[in-house]
Amino acid sequence: MKKQESDQGIQINKYISNSGFCSRREADKLVDDARVTINDDIALPTSRVQAGDVVAIDGEKIKSKQRPIYIALNKPVGVTSTTDMSDKTNIIRFMNHPKRIFPVGRLDKDSEGLILLTNDGDLTQKLSHPSHEVKKIYEVKLDKPLGKVDFDKILKGLELEDGFVRADSLAFSDPKDKAIIGIELHSGRNRIVRRMFEFLGYDVRNLDRVMFGNLTKKNVERGKWRYLNEKEIRLLKFMNSSFIKKQKV
């Protein structure tokens, strides 16, 4: 098979993400690994898809512009937010949804709470990008009460091994139990909440994400999921549009 050169049309990674097969970032990797073809020619990162072209991944034909799906899952402990099907605990196996969907961001295996799943590749890429600063709120249970000095350090900011991080807000969920803390931040770095508290000498006994952007896990039992309503979808997209307009000013 020859290499597919760039031309007019839709960018190959966007076409794949629009199909709901995976996110645009994951699509880039598929292309880099020579697993994508356009009319039986191996696709390049610069390849574009024309009307009537046949796109396949590992020989399986895909179609773009599937109906968008948006789901809020209250993830239980023990489920990994990965699409790697070799991982028997991955979120896709757990969901067992008839359509191909993928998680926006991640929650580690030992954490629980709200996570968004969708086949909207464009929204996934924008909400996952660090510069978008999507708000996330967690309830954290520690092995011991959080001291005032450490409370102030988290608000002021910590210099971790992979860079500086600061909580947007911090509060005690229960005034009588200072080992249970509510923390808001927009960083999406790997295990960032756990690492912040561990850096100060605390053991995180439980971590529960209660809010992502404008979404909450209200009325979604642990291990259950629901489709987002039209208002929630509009708010997610409006939040994204507001950010883009701000960046262009």
Which CATH topology does 135-212 take?
A: Pseudouridine synthase (3.30.2350)
Taking the CA atoms of 125, 130, 134 and 138 in sequence, report the sign of the dihedral they define. Answer: positive
Neighbours of 197 (CB within 10 A): 21
Q: Do domains 70-119+225-248 and 135-212 have the same CATH topology?
A: yes
Report, at the CATH architecture level, how domain 3-62 is classified.
Answer: Roll (3.10)
Q: What pLDDT does residue 64 have?
A: 66
Q: What pLDDT does residue 240 have?
A: 47
Q: Which two tokens stand for residue 127?
A: 């909400």
**Residue scoring higher pLDDT (118 or 238):** 118
Q: Provide DSSP, 174-210.
A: ETTEEEEEEEEE----TTHHHHHHHHTT--EEEEEEE
Stretch among 5-9, 22-26, 126-130, 212-216 having the lowest mean pLDDT: 5-9
**Domain residue ranges in the chain:** 3-62, 70-119+225-248, 135-212
Q: What pLDDT does residue 128 have?
A: 77
Contact between residue 197 and residue 147 where contact means Cβ atoms under 8 Å apart: no
Q: Which CATH number describes the domain made up of 70-119+225-248?
A: 3.30.2350.10
* Model pTM score: 0.74
Spatial separation of the C-alpha atoms in residues 104 and 237, rounded to whole Å: 14
| Confidence at 193, pLDDT banded by 50, 70, 90 | very high
- Which positions are catalytic? 108
Spatial separation of the C-alpha atoms in residues 61 and 115, rounded to whole Å: 29
